[in-house]
Amino acid sequence: MTKNIFPKNFLWGGATAANQFEGAYNVDGKGLSVQDVTPQGGIPAQEGDLNPLITEEPTKDNLKLEGIDFYHRYKEDIALFAEMGFKVFRLSIAWSRIFPNGDETEPNEAGLQFYDDVFDELAKYGIEPLVTLSHYETPLHLARQYNGWASRDLIGFYERYARTVFTRYKDKVKYWLTFNEVNSVLHAPFMSGGIATPVEELSKQDLYQAAHHELVASALATKVGHEINPDFKIGCMVLAMPAYPMTSNPLDQLAVRDFENQNYLFSDIHARGKYPNYIKRYFEENNIEIQFAPEDEEILKNTVDFISFSYYMSVAQAHDPENYNSGRGNIMGGINNPYLEASEWGWQIDPVGLRLVLNHFYDRYQLPLFIVENGLGAKDVLVDGPNGPTVEDDYRIDYLQKHLVQVGEALKDGVELLGYTTWGPIDLVSASTAQLSKRYGFIYVDRNDDGSGSLARYKKKSFNWYKEVIATNGASLFD
């Protein structure tokens, strides 16, 4: 019973983002993205402002400019994914490869050709692409000229971009995600939304209005995509972070609700096609008045085919947070939970939280789910092995094993799940800190935080572990 718990066509694989691994930041006509001018990563340091970290021009210390050079090594890397048995590979299209400034009327053919080549290579091995349209890589010109998603103009530019790639790849790509971690625009407005205004000058009104623009753009892309190919499966992608009440004080449970509703707002609108009632009260009490264009209400009714999400950690919440130790994790944070251990970067590890998240989403929407990010960022040590350099990453295997066992529990609970892609199956540059030493991969990449390294690829111990998980469709997790 336990052994056959994963559905027959379950999509096992890994997930990446163009700006974190392609490199080739200015090759074949690519324009700059917001990532090319944030050498230290995209998360504002604690309460501080991100802007001091933004440079006028790309600087040599920005590891993302070269990434791990997937742009030139995609054949070798895809062969390794195929060796692990991947059924799906999540990648993003770098918007600024297709529209270098974001507001042109004609796309850049060389950029389009690159993704044709990548999709063809994946097809050789029967690997299904899962494509994110916008993964923290808004064209820089749109940030500078329009203030990113603070401007309604971006809806039109995004629609043109989406239409272009949907049309071009309509026979090569079936699964699409509109915005990576769409709820993160409230917390990391420059990285997530290309909003150049300093964080401390942004009001809640500004942030929720920008979020509204993305939500309308997402629904519009969903509509356009289904018109171009009715077989497309288009999903939203949210950052999932469940919260526990710190005590059984009812006020702590209310704090949990407030925290979680901020995130559910995004999946609710994508799945139900309208703003939920609970947010109206929040908007009123915070003097937020979303400006709707006449067509917005109708556009939002274009709901998604599935809900996808990233899951790394959970937090605790309380009505009196000042009485506890808090920390930041994946973009957001909360109170440290004394029952949980944390990663080297302070992200609290909680496999059971994944089962809970899956159940929450499924109970709420009865739509298929897709876990499109999960994994452990850790420092690895390269050692000599019988077949060459390797990493004995038992800690990574342990993390993934425990999370996948909970996925199995959720499947037994009745959740419908399309697939699971681990974050960074090959080491890549971290989004929050722009380090390479924060590694997630099954494949080690010889590149260091100071930019040194040969870029050679080596299989870690987890490579064969994941290969076995996929080959047995999850049964080996329960041996």
Euclidean distance between CA atoms 379 and 437, whole angstroms:
6
Q: Which of 180, 222, 302, 303 binds ligand BG6 (CB under 6 A)?
A: 180
Any contact of residue 411 with ligand BG6 (CB under 6 A)? no
28/344 with CB nearer ligand BG6: 344
Quote the longest CA-to-CA distance of the chain: 66
307: closest CA among 401, 415, 158? Answer: 415
Least distance (Å) between residue 374 CB and ligand BG6: 10
Count of residues touching ligand BG6 (by CB under 6 A): 16
Examine residue 377 and tell whether it contacts ligand BG6 (CB under 6 A): yes
User: What's the chain's Rg over C-alpha atoms?
Assistant: 21
**Segment near ligand BG6 (CB under 6 A); pick from 4-12, 220-228, 300-308, 424-432:** 424-432
Q: Residue 429 contacts by C-beta under 8 Å, 6 or more apart in sequence?
A: 20, 21, 63, 64, 67, 68, 435, 436
**Can you state the angle between helices 70-84 and 109-124, rounded to 10 degrees?**
20
Is 108 near ligand BG6 (CB under 6 A)? no
Cβ closest to ligand BG6, residue 179 vs residue 275: 179
DSSP result, 90-152:
EEE--HHHHSSSS--SS--HHHHHHHHHHHHHHHHTTPEEEEEEESS--BHHHHHHH-GGGST
Selection from 414, 225, 229, 212 nearest residue 303 by Cα = 225
Q: For residue 212, state whether it binds ligand BG6 (rule: CB under 6 A).
A: no
Specify the residue, 16 or 336, whose C-beta has the smaller distance to ligand BG6: 16
Residue 176 touching ligand BG6 (CB under 6 A): no
Cβ 312 to ligand BG6, closest distance in Å? 7
Pairwise CA distance, residues 387 & 353, whole Å: 37
Catalytic residue among 22, 128, 373, 409: 373
Is 431 a binding residue for ligand BG6 by CB under 6 A? The answer is yes
Q: For ligand BG6, what does the binding mask look like between residues 292 and 311, x meaning CB under 6 A?
A: ------------------x-
Pick the piece of the chain touching ligand BG6 (CB under 6 A) from 97-105, 171-179, 291-299, 429-437: 429-437
Annotated active-site residue 289? The verdict is no
Residues that bind ligand BG6 (CB under 6 A): 17, 20, 136, 180-181, 310, 330-331, 373, 377, 423, 430-433, 438
